Structures are given as structure tokens and as C-alpha cells.
Copies of this chain bind each other. A is one copy, B any other.
Amino acid sequence: MDLPSPSATVFHAIESTIKEYRKFSQKKLSNAVSDMTIDQGLVLAFLDRYPEMSQKEIAALAFKDNASMTRMINLMVKKEYLERSINKLNRRRYKLEITPKGKNVLKTLTPIVLDNREKALEGVTEEELIQLEATLKKIKSNCNKP
């Protein structure tokens, strides 16, 4: 029994698409801000929108492992994009704050990210987008079944 060529499956197409988007997006981002990855930018964006988030919650939204998130945030603290302090209400979680440097980067980065998304979706109709999300959701939920 042979596998149909793995490069012909829809999973291959999904993966290649998201990878292209990441490369494309990272390139634009690097032109504007050195020293910042897409994922680090995402962390800033999440924290900006939900300032009370714990590392664990951010990790979940960004599809990262907790351990990875710890290390990412360590780096971002070292690079002075974030500050970690003790959360007195629950000393297991930290309080994370975006530094002024982080806020600046976020300001630079925001229009770039918006533009990236727009360019990546050029010529894709609203209808197609809805259909795309619906099909992805089906696949995702199939993978979640016990």
C-alpha cells in the first residue's frame, strides 16, 4: 500500500500556505523592527488587548507550549519589551506589562501587520473566507474527537 504523494494532500496545502504567510509577514516586520519575531509581536498584541493575561493564557492563544512561552517571555523581558512583576492576588501567576519600548514597537508593528493581512487576502472574497473558515473548523473538530 502506497501513500498518495504527501505533497498532494490538503494538509500539505494548509501547511505551505501558513508557512508562506509567516515568511512573508516576518520579512516585512523585520524591515521595520529588527529583533522582533511575529510570535513576539503576537504576545505584545495579546497583552495589549488583554492586559491581565497569564503566560499560560497567552501561550494557549498563540498555540505555544507553556515552556516555550516562558522562554519567549524571558527573552522579551531581557530585550526590554516586557516587564514581569509579582501578582499579589495570585502569586502563582505573574503580572506582565508592556514597557514603553514595547509600546513603541507595537505602534510601529500594528499597521504593518494589518497591511500584511490585507495583502495576503487580496482577491479573496468574503464568501470564500467564510467557506474557508468553515471547512477548517470541520477539520479541526474532527481532529479533536476522542
Given contacts A17-B14, A139-B17, contact A6 B110 (CB under 8 A): no
> Which residues of chain B have C-beta atoms less than 8 A from A135's C-beta?
124, 128-129, 131-132
Interface residues of A in 31-74 (CB under 8 A from B): 42, 45-46, 48-49, 61, 63
A85 contacts B by Cβ under 8 Å:
no
Interface size class of A (residues with CB under 8 A): 35 or more
Decide if A2 touches B49 in the complex (CB within 8 Å): yes
Binds B, one of A87-95, A96-104, A111-119: A111-119
Whose C-beta in chain B lies nearest to the C-beta of A117?
B9
Instruction: Report A1 CB to chain B, min CB distance, Å.
Output: 5
Decide if B132 touches A120 in the complex (CB within 8 Å): no
Given contacts A15-B18, A61-B7, A131-B135, contact A1 B121 (CB under 8 A): no
Whose C-beta in chain B lies nearest to the C-beta of A42?
B6
Alpha-carbon separation in the docked complex, A114 to B9 (Å) = 11
Instruction: Report A4 CB to chain B, min CB distance, Å.
Output: 8
Whose C-beta in chain B lies nearest to the C-beta of A63?
B19
